[in-house]
Structure 1
Amino acid sequence: MIILIQLLACIAAIVYWKNYKNTPLWIFLPLLVYTALNELLITVFLNLGVKISPREFYNVYSVISFLAYLYWFDKILKLKYWKWIVLVIFLSATLYDLLLGQEVKQLFKVGLISQAIIILSFSVVYFSRLLNEDRVIHYWKIPEFWFILGLLTFYIGFTPLLLITGLDMGIGRVYAISINILNLILYGCYIRGFYVTSK
């Protein structure tokens, strides 16, 4: 189900490309193409019986996606020197996971938690600024609103799930269902955001 909504988001990104190609939103097209290809590769390898750990793919994805999000937030929030501080924090957390904390075949938990905290913080900053602008009256017409709403919802739901993974609490099924729902919301918001660029 996740791959389907990712492909739909890719299609929306391509269809509405001309409306946002000269804005910071352009970064989402290559990110979504990479996301869908990543998910397809994992699915194909697993179906062919290739012995891989999907988490290795997701670890690389988490770094690449964060760099794309950081670029985008920098463009819309004007982070200035903060972006370098944030980048050092995230890369340090990821390096900790890689060198000291975990095997590559496990999710980079410290890196992902730092990513979640950073994106949630940026989202709060964006919404607090938006509340002080006149255009907040027509918030549903602002593409960035939809993208950030999707990210905010995803990370609010994902962070607690990430914190309890590996605690032998038997939440495998709940985790899978929750991730599917969170991805539906995330990519659904992306699709809505792309649609809004045409208005």
Structure 2
Amino acid sequence: MLHSRRQFFQASALGTAMYAVSSSPTDAAKGPRTAPALELESPSATAFKRLSHRARRALRFAIDEASETDGGMVDSGFLLIGLAAEAEYSGASWLSNLGLTLDDLCAVSQRILSRQPQTTGTRLPISQAARCCVVDGIAEAGLMGYQKAEPEHLLLGILQNPDADANLILHEMWIETASLESEALASLPTWGSVHHRFG
């Protein structure tokens, strides 16, 4: 979309950012929402519990963006946008340090993600590529001693899946993998680490 995405994601965060991920399907049907509920089947549902509050918010943003732009599914490109939106919302430094803006990222992704087939129904499916990025990010968090995966870990998960649409977007924007990895690592909060908490 051509207008600033910052306002859209701020409204999403204030109104419905955590609604679908904190409500049961029965509860979600009782009230309005701005995007379809997040649908994760087992074993992904178990992995989803290992995401931090910030990472869950990033997924909510990804769902909202896919819904707002009539995306056929929540693919890795929308996951990347969700992570960027969360970075702007929480003040994480990796986005600005790379010279990226949320609006530019949305503009480039809209061209690439427009190839997706459209789906019908009240829930947007999560693509296999996006699931792999999330699961790989969670695994990376565990290897680094974090109890829960942060958005920066999900960025690292994206980088481990070079065929994902998110990496096509990064390539289109001339963002080097090594630069993004370095910024993601530098932006990680130390308070999320098991080693930080328990020495």
* TM-score interval for Structure 1 and Structure 2 normalised by the shorter chain: 0.3 to 0.5
If asked which structure has higher relative contact order (CA below 8 Å, sep 6+), I would say 1
Larger Rg: 1
Normalized per residue, the structure richer in helix is: 1
Structure 2 length-normalised TM? 0.33
Structure 1 length-normalised TM? 0.33
